[in-house]
């Protein structure tokens, strides 16, 4: 798991760890990283999907992933 | 039907929803098993990340974030300096960043692991200092730096209750391939002496760059071998180096620095290191010794 996180691009790794490890709220994390909330959410999504792929532990089935992808960031 | 956003799913798994929002989201999940499984999976991933990056690992990963925050402060400061003299920012940028960096009371949060921003800034300064100490020209310090990093990794990953490796294998070639792929540079492991058994490998924190950490067993005790690429590749036979109340056998070979740590007598540790370094004279033939 640590290796998978380490392999993430910097911006994805920062977004993920500042929320998961540091305990920042999304708004706080966006402010600390100087990015919009929508950008933070997009990075969190990519980071989580990549970590799941790198650890070869599919989080959900492809159908379930598609079902959730229809949820869009509206801000 | 109420429209849910991807942001709500993230907010739920990261405990950023207020009580009413959380309850509403949980009602939605009760009607949508796929959404519920997705949320559960992301929560499990969060737990796995916290477990994997606890302690030393989290400290190493935090540095890049702190640096990024410092860059944000610098950019904002530069922007303020560029303002016309009569124009004042609505709020101090540094204060804004500091405020933003302060973990607030998350609803239901149970994992606020980070220290305050000031401590993080100190950590960043220390990390930069360590990186400076680890200059290739300061060869004696390089050996000590390797030893300290290995002692820290050994204490973090080889203690009871911690899975010491991410890849469990007794195959040296497989370990090399795994480490090479993750570190994105070639990793060469020495031949395993007959007195020890390869257990597996993992990535370990190291100032400035991650390192390979290979676990062996000897006399039913774990051994930790830290491997880091060096800019100064002169081979050097193992020597004992004191570090943080412990000691490590440190050597270089094939452009890499090695540090071996274990709960063994120093003479035994050094003998094992010597076996790693040159079990058959191969290393000495490949690169004549020139010192640190």
Contact residues on chain A for B74, CB-CB shorter than 8 A: none
Q: Are residues B152 and B92 in the same domain?
A: no
- How many domains is chain A built from? 1
> Are B168 and B200 within 8 A, CB to CB?
yes
d(CA A39, CA B11): 14
CB contact under 8 A, A65 and B109: no
Q: Chain B window 195-214: which residues touch A at a Cβ cutoff of 8 Å?
A: 202-203, 210
Which residues is B236 bridged to in the sheet?
B252
Inter-helix orientation angle B117-133/B93-101, to 10° = 100
Q: What is the pTM for the complete model shown? A: 0.43
> Is residue A4 pLDDT above 80, yes or no?
yes
Q: Is B83 on the interface with A (CB under 8 A)?
A: no
Res B196: pLDDT: 92
- ipTM, 2 dp: 0.79
Which residues is B211 bridged to in the sheet?
B204
In which domain, by residue range, is A23 found?
Answer: 2-69
In which domain, by residue range, is B13 found?
Answer: 6-52
Which residues is B252 bridged to in the sheet?
B236, B257
Q: Give the model confidence (pLDDT) of A7-55 as tens digits.
A: 888 889 888 988 888 788 898 888 888 899 999 999 999 999 998 887 7
pLDDT band at B200 (very low <50, low <70, confident <90, very high): very high
Q: Are residues B221 and B271 in the same domain?
A: yes
Stretch among B47-56, B94-103, B135-144 having the lowest mean pLDDT: B94-103
Q: Give the model confidence (pLDDT) of B54-72 as tens digits.
A: 654 454 444 445 545 555 5
Res B3: pLDDT: 47
Contact residues on chain B for A64, CB-CB shorter than 8 A: 34, 37-38
> Is residue B208 pLDDT above 80, yes or no?
no
Stretch among A43-52, B41-50, B111-120 having the lowest mean pLDDT: B111-120
- Residue A62 belongs to domain with CATH number: 1.10.10.10
| Residue in B6, B34, B52 closest to A45 by CB | B6
**Three-point CA angle B252, B257, B262, nearest 5°:** 100
* Contacts for B100 with CB less than 8 Å, ≥ 6 apart: A28, A31, A32
**Three-point CA angle B278, B280, B282, nearest 5°:** 70
Q: Are residues B173 and B119 in the same domain?
A: no
Res B223: pLDDT: 92
> Is residue B34 pLDDT above 70, yes or no?
yes
| Residue in A22, A33, A51 closest to B45 by CB | A51
- How many domains is chain B built from? 3
> Is residue B187 pLDDT above 80, yes or no?
yes
Q: Are residues B61 and B163 in the same domain?
A: no
Q: Give the model confidence (pLDDT) of B257-276 as tens digits.
A: 899 999 888 889 999 999 99
CB contact under 8 A, B52 and A1: yes
- In angstroms, the separation between the Cα of residue B59 and the nearest Cα of chain A is 10
Q: Is B79 on the interface with A (CB under 8 A)?
A: no
Stretch among A59-63, B23-27, B265-269 having the lowest mean pLDDT: A59-63
Query: Considering only CA atoms, which of B236, B225, B214 is closest in space to residue B262?
Result: B225
Residue carrying structure tokens 């200092």 = B129
Q: Are residues B147 and B69 in the same domain?
A: no
Q: Are residues B142 and B181 in the same domain?
A: yes
| Main-chain dihedrals φ then ψ at residue B115, nearest 5 degrees | -80, 175
Res B49: pLDDT: 85
């Amino acid at each position: 798991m640590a290796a998978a996180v380490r392999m993430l691009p910097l911006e994805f790794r920062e977004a993920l760890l500042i929320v998961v490890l540091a305990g920042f709220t999304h708004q706080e994390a966006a402010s600390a990283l100087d990015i919009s909330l929508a950008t933070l959410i997009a990075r969190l999504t990519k980071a989580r999907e990549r970590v799941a792929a790198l650890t070869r532990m599919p989080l959900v089935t492809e159908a379930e992933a598609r079902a959730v992808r229809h949820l869009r960031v509206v801000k | 039907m109420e429209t849910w956003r991807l942001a709500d799913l993230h907010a739920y798994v990261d405990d950023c929803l207020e009580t009413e929002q959380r309850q509403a989201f949980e009602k939605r999940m009760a009607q949508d098993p796929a959404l519920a499984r997705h949320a559960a999976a992301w929560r499990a991933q969060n737990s796995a990340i916290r477990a994997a990056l606890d302690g030393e690992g989290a400290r190493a990963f935090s540095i890049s974030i702190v640096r990024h925050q410092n860059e944000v402060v610098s950019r904002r400061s530069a922007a303020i300096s560029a303002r016309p003299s009569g124009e004042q920012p609505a709020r101090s940028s540094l204060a804004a960043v500091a405020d933003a960096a302060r973990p607030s009371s998350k609803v239901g949060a149970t994992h606020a692991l980070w220290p305050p921003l000031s401590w993080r800034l100190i950590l960043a300064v220390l990390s930069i200092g360590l990186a400076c100490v680890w200059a290739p020209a300061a060869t004696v310090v390089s050996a000590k730096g390797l030893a300290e990093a290995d002692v820290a990794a050994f204490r973090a990953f080889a203690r009871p209750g911690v899975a010491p490796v991410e890849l469990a294998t007794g195959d040296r070639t497989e370990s090399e391939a795994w480490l090479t792929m993750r570190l994105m540079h070639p990793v060469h492991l020495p031949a395993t002496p007959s007195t020890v058994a390869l257990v597996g490998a993992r990535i370990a924190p190291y100032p400035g760059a991650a390192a390979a950490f290979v676990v062996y067993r000897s006399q039913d005790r774990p051994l930790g071998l830290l491997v880091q690429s060096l800019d100064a590749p002169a081979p050097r036979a193992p020597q004992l180096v004191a570090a943080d109340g412990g000691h490590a056998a440190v050597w270089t070979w094939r452009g890499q620095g090695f540090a071996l740590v274990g709960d063994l007598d120093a003479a035994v540790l050094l003998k094992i290191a010597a076996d790693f370094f040159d079990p058959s004279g191969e290393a000495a033939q490949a690169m004549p010794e020139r010192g640190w």
